[in-house]
Structure 1
C-alpha cells in the first residue's frame, strides 16, 4: 500500500502531525522506535491542558486518540533508511519496507552530554536545558549555569534571565569563554556569581544535585544546573545529506517545513534550538497542514 505520509518519530511533533493528517483522511504510517530524547524527564511542562503530565502518559493519551482514525497506523519500529524521490519514497524497516508519497522527519536530536562525573545520573532530574520547562518547580533554589561550546553566543543572556526565577545564580564558564570587563560588570549588577575554574564533577545527595566541584577542590552549593550540550542528528537523518544550518539543525522552508530534498519534510527539535514539547507539536501540525494541502492538490488536479 502506498502511504500518503510516513512520519518518523513519535514525540509531540510526530504525534501532532499524525493527528492532523489522520483527520484530513490521509493514509499515515507513524514509526516510533525511541528511545525518547526526554527519557530522563519526569514531567512535561508548558503544554496547555497537559502541564505536569509524565511523558509516558502524554504519549499514551496521544496514541489512544490516534486509534480512532483507521487511516493512521502506528508501528514501534525503527526506520533504517529512506530512498527514492518525491512521490515515491521507499522507507526501510527492519524486516519490511513501505512506500510513501512524502516523508516527515520528527526524530528529535541526540544530546551529547559532557563527560562530567554525575552529569548523566542527574540529567533530567537536577540538570536541565530549559527554564521554561523546569524553572517554576526550581524557583528560589540555588541555580548554576554551565557554559558549553554550544552556548557561547548566548551565555550572558541566559544567566541574566535566570534571575527571573531565583536570586541565587552562579555561572560556571570552565574556561570556555572569555569574560570581559563589561560582562563581569553585568553579572555583578545582577548579583550573579562567576566561577571560571574547570568543573571536575557534580556532587549529588540522594539522587539530587547538591554542589558543583571545582578544580581547586572548592564545592559551590548548587541545587539545579542548566546547560546546553551539543546535539547531533540521528543516523537515518544524517544519511540523507540534508542541508543543515551552522549549528547542525535541518534547514526547512518556514511555511511548508520541506527540507532541501524535495518531498522530505521535518518538524520539531531536529530543526531548531528553540526546543520544547509545545513548539514541536505546533511545528508538526503546521507541517501536516501543508502536506495535506499539497497532497490533495496533486490528487484532484492530476490528469484523468
Structure 2
C-alpha cells in the first residue's frame, strides 16, 4: 500500500508537516538522513515555547510527539532517488523501495563555508547568519559583517539595534556607493574596504579580523551570508529554481514545477529559521491533505458506482 506522502527531511519543516498530516489521518513516511543544517547552532530562538532549545532536543521532542499518530512512520534513512509521476512515485531508499502518492521536500539548504582560515570552526559559535536568531546573546559586543556585494549593504543597518559597534568588511571586491558610505557614517557604522586575510580566534571564539596588510580589527561576532546550494536529491529531481537557487513553489499549494512534488522550509526561501520552516511545513501539509482527501473521496465514489 503506497504512502500518501513521503517527507524528505526531519528538521522543523518535515516534523511539523508530519505532525499535521498525522493528525489528518494520512499515511506518512518521514525520511531523515541525519544531516543537520543547524547542527553547529547551540540553540533555537524565536520559537515560542522552544526559545533556547538545543536543535537536537527540538528534534527529539518532535519525534516523540509523532509517536501518538499511528499513520506516521519515521525512518533514519537516506533517499537515493525518486522516480515516477504524480500519484505513483517510487522512492528508492538505502534499505528498500516504497511507493508514494506525493512527495514533500523539506531538505533545507547546504551552506558553503567561505575560504577564510577559521571560518568553519567558528561557524555557529562566533559566526552567524541571522541577528534575530543569535543577536540577543551577543548584544553590545563588537560586531562585524562580511558583505559580498552592493545588494547586501542594507543588512548592517539593522545591526545597530543590537550593538553600537559595527564594522562592515567588503574585502575590496566591489565599490560602495557614496550614499551608502554617508548612511554608514551617519549611523556610526565603520566601513573597511581593505582585503581580508584571516580570522583571529582563541579557544573557538573570534577575537578579530586580520587584513592583508597585517592590521587586525578587533571584533567578537561576525555575521556572514555564505553561498547556499540545494542537496543533490533536489537537484536531480529537476524542480524549478529561482534566480537565487531556491525551489520555486506555488504560493498557495506549495507544489513545485514537477507535479506531485511539494516543498517547504529553507530550500524555497531566503526567509530562513526554525519557526519559518515549521510554518511552511504545516502550510504544505494542509494543502496536501486537502488535495489527497478530495482525490481519494472521488476515487471511492467512482468505485462505488461501478
Q: What interval of TM-score do these two structures reach, taking the shorter chain for normalisation?
A: over 0.9
Of 175-184 and 104-113, more deviation after overlay is shown by: 175-184
Check the 8 A contact 1:147/1:176 in 2, yes or no. Answer: no
Shift of 1:197: 1.2
Matched residues, number: 301
Shift of 1:177: 2.5
Q: What do residues 128-163 of structure 1 show as CA deviations (whole Å, max 9, x unaligned)?
A: 0000000111110000000125xx41x221111000
TM-score, scaled relative to structure 2: 0.97
Check the 8 A contact 2:77/2:95 in 1, yes or no. Answer: no
Q: Please, which of 206, 213, 221 is the counterpart of residue 216 of structure 1?
A: 213
In the alignment, does 2:12 pair up with 1:9?
no
Within 2, Cα distance between the matches of 1:68 and 1:192?
A: 52
Match of 2:182 in 1: 185
Q: CA RMSD in A?
A: 0.8
**Aligned-partner SS, 1:70:** coil
In the alignment, does 2:169 pair up with 1:172?
yes
Of 292-301 and 175-184, more deviation after overlay is shown by: 175-184
Check the 8 A contact 2:88/2:101 in 1, yes or no. Answer: yes
**Aligned-partner SS, 2:258:** coil
**Aligned-partner SS, 1:292:** helix
Within 2, Cα distance between the matches of 1:94 and 1:257?
A: 27
Within 2, Cα distance between the matches of 1:39 and 1:53?
A: 12
Displaced runs of 4+ in structure 1, greater than 6 A?
none
Shift of 1:250: 0.2
Shift of 1:34: 2.4
Within 1, Cα distance between the matches of 2:262 and 2:172?
A: 39
Q: What do residues 147-197 of structure 1 show as CA deviations (whole Å, max 9, x unaligned)?
A: 125xx41x2211110001000000000123311211110110010011111
Check the 8 A contact 2:147/2:153 in 1, yes or no. Answer: no
Check the 8 A contact 1:7/1:106 in 2, yes or no. Answer: yes
Match of 1:77 in 2: 77
Check the 8 A contact 1:5/1:27 in 2, yes or no. Answer: yes
TM-score, scaled relative to structure 1: 0.98
Q: What do residues 35-80 of structure 1 show as CA deviations (whole Å, max 9, x unaligned)?
A: 1001100000000000000000000000000011111000000101
- The residue correspondences of 1:1-304 to structure 2 (distance < 5 A) are 1-148=1-148, 152-153=150-151, 155-302=152-299, 303-304=302-303
Structure 2: gaps spanning 5 or more residues = none
Check the 8 A contact 2:29/2:74 in 1, yes or no. Answer: yes
Shift of 1:205: 1.4
